[in-house]
Amino acid sequence: MRGAGFAAVLLAALTLPLASAAQGTLLDRVVTFSTLTYDHPKGPLFTSRGRTVVVTDGAEFGLEREAIQNGLEVVPVDVNISANRIELDYFNSEPGSFVTAEFNGYVLQFEANCVLFQDARIDWQATTLPLAKDALSFEGGTVRINVSGLIFDRKSHFAVDLDVAACPLS
């Protein structure tokens, strides 16, 4: 009987990291948000000034226009990051279309000393932009969202849900 009790405690201790990994959060993490446009990654056509903040309960970024590079400029967008979600909204933008390129979109780089994202997916019910199924990619602590060639207006919005690992804050 004594051995069975020890085994139960050992089993419970071994499962704790798995349970906490599913409960990771982006809150209080440092993130840098930027835009990037390229036809070849080694020769970007446009790179915006990165903005770095700590994720809180409020909106993290209100991206405004910047200086024009190669005839391109930033489309204003509001970015809200919560515990496991990223939302982008164009209510402050004049209607238009994103330049078509191999990649034209957003890069969100979260500081982490581990693989921060276990999965990422577009929330199609909350998304009004016709994003391609491969528009979203993630690796380590970086999320990339490609909006190349899409048409947007003030009602355009999209949301990305993330499975965040319980990594220690950097």
Q: Which pLDDT score, from 0 to 100, does residue 47 have?
A: 79
* Burial of residue 78 (number of CB atoms within 10 Å: 0-12, 13-18, 19+): middle
Tell me what pLDDT residue 170 has. 64
What's the pLDDT at 113? 86
Please report the pLDDT score of residue 19 as a whole number. 36
Strand locations in the chain, DSSP E?
Answer: 30-38, 46-47, 51-54, 61-63, 77-81, 85-89, 96-97, 103-110, 117-122, 136-139, 142-146, 151-152, 157-164
Q: What is the pLDDT of residue 129?
A: 94
Strands 30-38 and 103-110: antiparallel
What is the DSSP code (8-state) at residue 105? E
pLDDT of 26 reads 95
From the first residue on, what is the mean pLDDT of each consecutive set of 10 residues in the chain (170 residues)? 42 38 80 90 81 85 58 77 94 90 94 91 95 93 95 95 87
pTM strictly above 0.85: no
Under DSSP, the state recorded for 5 is: H
Residue 37's DSSP bridge partners are 46, 104
User: What pLDDT is recorded for position 135?
Assistant: 96
Residue 112, number of CB atoms within 10 A of its CB: 22
Q: Which is nearest to 147 in space by CA: 91, 59, 88?
A: 88
State the amino acid at position 78 in one-letter form: D
pLDDT of the residue at 134: 92
